[in-house]
Structures are given as structure tokens and as C-alpha cells.
Amino acid sequence: MATLITPALVCALRPHGEQGAIARLLTPGHGLLAGYVRGGRSRVLRPVLLPGNAVKAEFRARTEEQLAGLTVELEHSRAPLLAEALAAAAIDWVCAVTAVALPEGTPFPALYQALQGVLGAVEAAPAARGWAVALVRYELLLLAELGFGLDLTRCAAMGGNDDLAFVSPRSAAAVSRAAAVGYEDRLLPLPAFLLEGGAGDWPSILDGLRLTGFFLERSVLTDWRADVLASRERLVDRLKRAVA
């Protein structure tokens, strides 16, 4: 990659040197890419490099192994959302998990489109219920794209796809209501909206977050518990308080 110009979504930023920063951006064709932004923590660029913002990015590197220099041009700001506690928590989490979970330089076009969709839903929805379902679906897709997908197509115990209501934490496969009798407390509830589409009520949304959170913690975020999962816990706590 000598020079690459691409649309991108800002996922993470960390300081580097006195005024510089290393930004991690999700791109449609090249996946997650990191680059050094000169003056990235300056008054001018700090608002551009907020997680969730859409930018036009230009990466320049002499070799594939070298950290690219990066310049960015703001295309769409989501800064106003950061004044809203729930919206800010959602953006913080969904961008952070994307930044730490994905390998660099591997295209994930479906995830790029899905992240665009989640951020757009957070921006457009008047209440959290309007975007929380999209967030659960994004987490489910993230698991699948990384090779840890759940099998929600048939009952792991009895076969068939009738009345699937739980997921086995051991096999990550669906379990029907009939097969789950007597074992309900050992299984994870499977919200209907993940099978049927459409919206979900708050109990099913919280069940969905519990489901995806279990497998993200077990399979994807094993080395990032303290740093990244804390942002998810803050989001879920705020959602619970909002609907209490």
C-alpha cells in the first residue's frame, strides 16, 4: 500500500508523541487500518477524529510493514450525539469493539456496512429502543465474521427449527423450548427478533445483549476484558436504568 484514499469510519484514537495520534479506521475495502496523524490531538483535528465520524482518509506508506502516515477530511460528524449519555455509550462501545476485535488489513465489507447502519440508527432514532436491536445484530455479525458465529438455524438437541427459544453456551447452537425443559437456567435466552427480524421489546433486547455479550467475552475479547468490556458494561447499565 503506497497510497490509499478511501472513505472510513473512525473507531479509535490513541496519543502518540506530543501532539500526534494513531487512529484506527474501518474502511470498506481494506478493513481496519491504522495510521499516524500528525497533530491528531490538536484543536483542529481532535473533533474530526472522534469515534463514529465518517471521514475521507489518505494513507501513505513506503512499505507494507511501515505504519502509514494518515490525513483525514471530515465527511460527517456525529459529535452532537456525544452529548447524549446513551448515544455516546453506544458509539463508544461499538467503535471500541470493532477496533480491538478485527485484524488489520482484512476486508470486512459486511461489517463496514453494518457499522454504518448502527451509527446511522443511533443518530436517527429518537429513543434507544430504535437502535439497540441494530447493535445486537451488529455484535452477532461480528462474531460470525470472526469465525465464532452462533448456529440459530436448528435445535442442537432435537433437530428442526420449531420454537427455538434458547442458545447453549457450550455449543453456541439454538435449543428449542421443548428440548430445554429442565435446563432453562443453564441456557441463554434467544430473542425472537434474531430469528424473525423486526423490532424487539426491552426484555428481548436485554436478552440479546446478554447473549452476544457472553460469546464476545468468551471468544473475542479474552485479552481486553478490563479495557473494552467496561465500555459495554456502562452501556448495558445505562440501558437498564433507562427502561427501569
pLDDT, one tens digit per residue, over 34-49 is 999 998 888 899 999 9
Question: Residue 226: its pLDDT value, please?
Answer: 64
Could you give all domains of the chain from N- to C-terminal order, each with its CATH number?
3-77 (2.40.50.140), 82-152+190-243 (no CATH)
Question: Residue 16: its pLDDT value, please?
Answer: 87
Return the number of other C-beta atoms located less than 10 Å from residue 194's C-beta.
Answer: 22
* Residue 233 C-alpha from the chain's centroid: 14
The type of residue at 102 is L
Express each pLDDT in 167-198 by its tens digit.
999 999 999 999 999 999 999 999 999 999 88
Whole-number Cα distances in Å, 242 to 77, 89, 127, 142: 26, 13, 10, 26
Q: Is residue 177 exposed (0-12), middle (13-18) or buried (19+ Cβ within 10 Å)?
A: middle
**Which of 178, 1, 13, 193 lies closest to 99, judged by CA?**
13
Question: Residue 1: its pLDDT value, please?
Answer: 55
Question: Residue 81: its pLDDT value, please?
Answer: 93
pTM of the model: 0.93
Ranges of the chain with pLDDT below 70: 1, 224-226
